[in-house]
Amino acid sequence: MANSPEYRSIPSQQPVRAAAAMVLQAVEDGQSLSQCLPLGQASVDASERPELQALCYGACRWYHRLDAELSPRMKRPLRKSDRVIHQLMIVALFQLRHSQQASYAVLNETVEACRTLGRPHLTGLVNGILRAAQRDGEPEPEKPGARFSHPDWIVEKLRHNWPEHWQAILAANNVQAPMTLRVNAEQGSREQYLQWLTEAGIEAQPTRLAPYGIQLAQPVPVERLPGFGDGAVSVQDEAAQLCTLLLDLKPGQRVLDACAAPGGKTCAILEQGPDLAEVVAIDQSASRLPRIQENLDRLCLSATLTEADAANIESWWDNEPFDRILLDVPCSASGVIRRHPDIKLLRREADITPLAGIQLGLLANLWRILKPGGRLVYATCSVFPQENHRIIQRFLRQQADARLIQPQVTWGTDTGYGRQLLPDPQAHDGFFYGVLEREESTPEHATDV
């Protein structure tokens, strides 16, 4: 599970709270929920796996607020070797504050989980702290980080960058994201699919910004979605769907989707550009390419998939330039915290500057293989300007043949160098798009690869 030997595996047949505590410890030790939750789910009964997921996501979402309550209740911190019991109490506090579980059941089963985790000597401490928390009720934190359940550095960065919106962003990050679909335009219209959903008893409405998007009133298993297995629809956030509009796809174009996994944008490009000459999708992780292929197969689409590092063009490029490039760069993911609450525990402020360097480097590198007159769309799921419009601003200063395109759209905030969408609790994730066009080559602008 994590770097310490105790969490490299979770014993089978664990109580769900014990498994949740071990998953949470693995996250604190540096693993993402997507890495360690499957191992936790394998350790519990199949019927308990949805509960385990809810506990892990909820505890991560409210960790900073719960920790601000728990820590003062303890006379001194637990030893590092007993840190998993701290996580166990975080899980229990989450249930006391945010679930309908009976308090007596939370207390009793948490004490039993403490024994299961091999710390019977701490059962008295666990029982006493949780009983006091039940008796006293939840305190109202004074500090914004605890009140909004975010690390202080994210709070301060948002307050500085978005002085009129920071509290709304923090609140939106703590709301479960809606389930949004993208209708396959090759198979039918949005109106037709909305009718299919109605007939299936699934309440839904069209998205406001994405022309092929549908938002469900409540999430459902994909198996319940009409025609999902036959490629009629895919799950994709509304903000992510907007990339195809900004690419301005035309028949006969050659398109590159860089950093493509898991392939949602690749498939959207193919659905809405059926007469493209070729779509090349690259990702440096070989283990993620099969996921792209699975999506392509389900949707009956075809693309050229390549395991490649976008930063190392010489190792994969065939010397044929691209008419369109979608560059969805690695980023802080600060715009999708509501979907990945473990980001609050995993990301550090010190990560942002190195990420910005990677982002600018990728943009400069892929610019070399964009055809003169071609268009590149730079995208992130971040709300930090350092990763977004400031990258575009820096790039334009150093690239003479780059021209900023101002898309004719009304959504998002115009930063002067692209459009910024902030997370909307009722709609889309946080996302940034910058659109650049390469001017026709001149001798002084020509670039050799």
Report the catalytic residues. Answer: 381
**Alpha carbon distance 28, 24 (integer Å):** 6
Closest C-alpha among 205, 154, 209 to residue 178? 205
Handedness of CA 208, 209, 214, 216 (dihedral sign): negative
- 188-196, long-range: CB < 8 A, 24+ apart: 188/232, 190/214, 193/226, 193/227, 193/232, 193/233, 196/226, 196/227, 196/232
CA 376 to chain centre: 22
H helix or E strand, kind and range, residue 182 = strand 180-183
Both tokens assigned to 72 = 């003062």
Contact indicator for 85, 126 with CB cutoff of 8 Å = yes
Backbone dihedral angles phi then psi of residue 358, each to the nearest 5 degrees: -65, -45
**Alpha carbon distance 293, 365 (integer Å):** 26
Contact indicator for 370, 440 with CB cutoff of 8 Å = no
Closest C-alpha among 393, 412, 408, 416 to residue 335? 412
Give the pairing type, strands 213-216 and 322-328.
Answer: unpaired
Contact indicator for 22, 14 with CB cutoff of 8 Å = yes
CA-based Rg of the chain, rounded to a whole angstrom? 24
Both tokens assigned to 276 = 């493209």
CB atoms within 10 A of CB 245: 19
Handedness of CA 53, 217, 273, 406 (dihedral sign): negative
Both tokens assigned to 443 = 């001798």
CB atoms within 10 A of CB 301: 20
Handedness of CA 30, 174, 151, 93 (dihedral sign): negative
The secondary structure of the chain in percent helix, strand, coil, rounded to multiples of 5, reads: 45, 15, 40
- Helix extents (H) in 33-174: 33-42, 49-61, 63-73, 83-98, 103-116, 123-136, 144-147, 152-161, 166-173
